[in-house]
C-alpha cells in the first residue's frame, strides 16, 4: 500500500468534502426545479459530510439568496468543514459558506450548472 504525505491526504479530504457538497447542491437544484410555484421547500444540507441527512426548510427566495454565486453553499449549523468552507452568513436555521481557494473552489466552479461557460 502506497503512503501519502500529510499534504496529499489533506488534498484528498478536501476533494471528497467538495464532491459531497456539490452532490448536495445538485440535489437541491433538482428539488427546486420540481417545485413549480411553491413558496418554500425542504432542502438537503450541502455540507461535506458523507451520509449527512440533515434537512433545512427555506423559502425559495432564501434558497436563491444562497445561490447568488457558484461557490456559495447551504449548510446546517455545526456542519462547516474549516479546511474547505468559510462562513459568510449566519441564520438561525442555516449557514451560508463559500469555498476556500484551491481545489474545492475550482470544483464548485466547474460543477455549477448556473455558471456561464
- Whether the per-residue pLDDT at 8 is higher than 60: the answer is no
Q: Please report the pLDDT score of residue 117 as a whole number.
A: 57
Q: What is the mean pLDDT of the chain?
A: 88
pLDDT score at 9:
65
Q: Please, which residues bridge with residue 86 across strands?
A: 98
The answer to whether residue 40 scores a pLDDT higher than 70 is yes
Alpha helices in 1-117 (DSSP H): 6-33, 60-66, 103-111
What is the reported pLDDT for 78? 96
Question: Which region among 28-42, 45-59, 84-98 has the lowest average model confidence (pLDDT)?
Answer: 28-42
46 pLDDT higher than 50:
yes
Amino acid at each position: 500500500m502506497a503512503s501519502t504525505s500529510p499534504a496529499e491526504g489533506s488534498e484528498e479530504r478536501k476533494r471528497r468534502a467538495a464532491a459531497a457538497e456539490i452532490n448536495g447542491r445538485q440535489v437541491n437544484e433538482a428539488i427546486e426545479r420540481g417545485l413549480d410555484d411553491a413558496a418554500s421547500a425542504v432542502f438537503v444540507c450541502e455540507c461535506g459530510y458523507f451520509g449527512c441527512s440533515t434537512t433545512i426548510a427555506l423559502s425559495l427566495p432564501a434558497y436563491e439568496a444562497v445561490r447568488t454565486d457558484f461557490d456559495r453553499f447551504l449548510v446546517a449549523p455545526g456542519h462547516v468543514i474549516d479546511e474547505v468552507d468559510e462562513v459568510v452568513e449566519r441564520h438561525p436555521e442555516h449557514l451560508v459558506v463559500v469555498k476556500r481557494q484551491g481545489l474545492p473552489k475550482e470544483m464548485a466552479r466547474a460543477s455549477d450548472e448556473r455558471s456561464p461557460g
